[in-house]
Chains A and B, each alone.
Chain A
Amino acid sequence: MENSTAFDLNNATRRWRDGLSQSPHFREEDLAELEAHLRDAVAELQGRGLTDEEAFLLASRRLGNPARLDSEFAKVNRGQVWLNRVLWMLVGIQGWGLLGSIAHVASNAAVLGGLTGLGYKLPHSADYSSGNLFAAALFALAHLLALTACIAGCWWLVRRKEDTAHKAAVKALQRPVLLGLGLCVFLLTISLSSTVAWRLLVFKYYAPEAIGGIAMAQSLSFFPLALLQTLAFVVLTIVLFRRRVHLGTAS
């Protein structure tokens, strides 16, 4: 703004690219190609004696205004956009199920292991006794903590270790059969241990009369979790929809 020495060409280019990447109509490859073009154009204009800032402004104007580029790319990338949406839906469904299962396994193991380790005896009957309510609260709390930790872990992986995660994903995708088999085994292991395996362990290590109390506490712990999950999904959906509608009328 103030003078040309304050202008950072790389910064401006990155911001320009980030601006375009807000739209779903550009693939990563399209952005890379447009950026290569912009850099070529800037280099040539610099060679003709323009300052960094002048060269950048002129080159980006010649490339075209972002709204028109967006609508042109939208025409050729329509199928691509849908593929992307379906992909993220699948990742979302699988991912949410997986996180839930992992949290389930971890919290069950922690609470049952912890209570047994401390010598705490769950009430033997399936009623609304204070012992069962206490255990239910523990189950719910442990589940919530485990789920939060899982979500935070994924967030950290995506935000902080983006490059590493991306490289690992690209490498894994080069061996689709191995990746598919690995994923199947992993997902099945998690889902089986969250449903069948821990019950088998409970049946094996706990007296029949204790199982009623455990099942009761477990069932009770689902209420607060279901409430929180429904609330979180409803709020998130409304917030995202409002943003979308707002953006739609603004452009």
Chain B
Amino acid sequence: MLSKELVAASTVPLVLSVLGEGESYGYALIQRVRALSRGKIEWTEGMLYPVLHWMEAEGLIESEWREAETGRKRKYYLLRREGRRALQAEREQWLTVHQTLTKLWKTQPHLT
């Protein structure tokens, strides 16, 4: 389980990275992160939406209501150019932390 502080700090880069794969909506975003982290990153699901709205207000992402295959409407989010730039910056920062820690712990970094 991740600490509260780390969950808070990693939400934006995680959202940016998932949306980097293509547009998505809140519920699917959470499912994707849960599956990739094998359940170790557990968000209070409703808390994601204020973050998404903040990111939209900052111009990182944009949203659109569309009808899903279930017939219900969903709000889809996708990355804007500003968001791609932010993703790149986040990526560099998190990799720096990751590389430093792995060197200190003398484990082999498994980076793609």
A36 with B73, Cβ < 8 A, contacts A62-B45, A64-B45, A69-B47 known: yes
A33 and B45 within 8 A (CB): no
State the interface size on chain B (CB cutoff 8 A).
17
Interface residues of B in 3-26 (CB under 8 A from A): 25-26
User: Is B72 in contact with chain A by the CB < 8 A criterion?
Assistant: yes
User: Is A72 in contact with chain B by the CB < 8 A criterion?
Assistant: yes
The A contact surface, by secondary structure, is: helix
A33 with B44, Cβ < 8 A, contacts A39-B72, A76-B57 known: no
A34, A39, A76 interface centre (most CB from chain B within 10 Å): A76
B54 and A69 within 8 A (CB): no
Contacts of B53 in A (CB 8 A): 30, 76-77
Interface size class of A (residues with CB under 8 A): 20 to 34
Closest A residue to B52 by CB, please name it.
A33
A72 and B50 within 8 A (CB): yes
A73 and B73 within 8 A (CB): no
Q: Which among B44, B72, B74 is the interface contact of A64 at CB below 8 angstroms?
A: B44
- Please list the residues of chain B having a beta carbon within 8 angstroms of any beta carbon in chain A: 25-27, 44-47, 49-50, 53-54, 57, 70, 72-75
Show 28 residue pairs from A and B whose CB-CB distance is below 8 angstroms, ordered by the A residue.
A30-B49, A30-B53, A32-B73, A33-B26, A33-B49, A33-B75, A34-B46, A34-B49, A36-B26, A36-B73, A36-B75, A37-B26, A41-B45, A62-B44, A63-B45, A63-B46, A64-B44, A64-B45, A64-B47, A68-B44, A68-B46, A68-B47, A72-B47, A72-B50, A76-B50, A76-B53, A76-B57, A77-B53
